[in-house]
Amino acid sequence: MSSGEPSPDRGGEPEGMELPPPRPTLLRRLALKVQQARALKGWVEEARSRSPTLDATFDTIERDSRIGGVILAGALCYRLFVFALPLSFFLISGLGLLAEALGRNADAIVNSVGLAGKVAKQVEPAATGASNWWVALTAFFVLVYVTRSLVRALAIVQSLAWTGSAASVKVSPRTLAIFGGAAAGQLALVAGVGAVRHQSAIGGIIALIVFVLALAGLWLIVSLELPHADACWTDLIPGSLFYAIGIVLVQIFNILILSRLIQSKSSTYGALGIAGALLLGLFLAGRVMVGAAVLNATLYGRRARSSRAPA
């Protein structure tokens, strides 16, 4: 009997033909996904028990999720944008005298201060002219006001990260002055690194290391003025280093990607494209600020729990 002829034992079906396996139902596929998720959760819990570093990482992520880290970063993004506008007007109108004293072009100074310089380039036509002194003076007072709002937002983020509440957050004039000095110091550091980077590659690497350490020191000083429970200054070092490294990565993103986005979107979408690209960079900076606070609070809480645990 040939293989193509029906077989009497198979009820008329050709020899060698197999029926396809039944497709799993939707409920069966969902049950399989649930089993896989439970297995993954068990594997993660076991890995966390073996690795303190991995456990601390997940603790930080969970704390960030509890306080709404993404939403807080969006709020800081808005405050940073409002802060950057008068700062940009002040840079354009107020640094003309500094450019004359240094014998440099004002555009060169503005371009050397990172993201603030990019914002300043967009408002430059409105900030130049015969009324530079009035623009600089007005921008200064507006800058003081919006700086207070930004510092209060940072204090709320820090309080939520450390205590889960922001009911009694207050901003003192001392905190405002220290933050203003730290912001000016960060702009000076960015400008200095940009100047050294163009001189030599080795000098640029050394300047980058110094920039990270100096930026971490500035954020450490600011963090000491913001809510941080009863932690001492050494407990705030991890978050300060996280902030410094994160801001460096944001600066690299601004140079390699954001600048091109601003150039391309300005011709395609106009002012809305420029604003969208700038807000993206500011959101990343806000995310770094929230992450620094959450990291410090998480590590401090873990150390406090381990010290209270019985030996």
pLDDT tens digits, residue range 144-184? 999 999 999 999 999 999 998 888 888 899 999 999 999 98
Contact indicator for 205, 222 with CB cutoff of 8 Å:
no
- Determine the pLDDT at residue 123: 46
Note whether residue 92 is domain-resident: yes
Q: How confident is the model at residue 130 (pLDDT cuts 50, 70, 90)?
A: very low
Angle at 295 between CA 148 and CA 48, to 5 degrees: 160
Least confident interval from 31-40, 53-62, 73-82? 31-40
- Determine the pLDDT at residue 260: 76
Instruction: Indicate the SS3 state at residue 14.
Output: strand
Least confident interval from 91-95, 232-236, 304-308? 91-95
> Which residue reads 């010290």 in tokens?
307
Beta bridge partners of 14: 6
Note whether residue 254 is domain-resident: yes
Tell me what percent of the residues of the chain surpass a pLDDT of 70: 74
Domain that holds residue 179: 68-290
Q: Which helix (H) or strand (E) holds 270?
A: none
Note whether residue 97 is domain-resident: yes
Note whether residue 188 is domain-resident: yes
Domain count of the chain? 1
Q: Collect all residues with Cβ–Cβ distance below 8 Å to 106 and sequence separation of at least 6.
A: 92, 95, 96, 99
- Over residues 84-99, mean pLDDT: 72
- Over residues 213-235, mean pLDDT: 94
Q: Collect all residues with Cβ–Cβ distance below 8 Å to 87 and sequence separation of at least 6.
A: 116, 119, 120, 139, 143
> Which has more pLDDT, 293 or 187?
293
Note whether residue 46 is domain-resident: no
Note whether residue 175 is domain-resident: yes
Look over the chain and give the mean of its residue pLDDT values, rounded to a whole number: 79
Note whether residue 116 is domain-resident: yes
- pLDDT one-digit tens code per residue, 94-103: 665 455 544 5
Note whether residue 3 is domain-resident: no
Give pTM, 2 decimals.
0.77
> Which has more pLDDT, 16 or 63?
63
Please state, in angstroms and rounded to a whole number, the distance separating the CA atoms of residues 284 and 270. 22
Least confident interval from 133-137, 145-149, 247-251, 269-273? 269-273
Q: How confident is the model at residue 104 (pLDDT cuts 50, 70, 90)?
A: low
Please state, in angstroms and rounded to a whole number, the distance separating the CA atoms of residues 127 and 187. 19
- Determine the pLDDT at residue 28: 78
- pLDDT one-digit tens code per residue, 278-308: 888 899 999 999 999 999 999 999 988 887 7
Q: What does the block give as tokens for 248? A: 């460096």
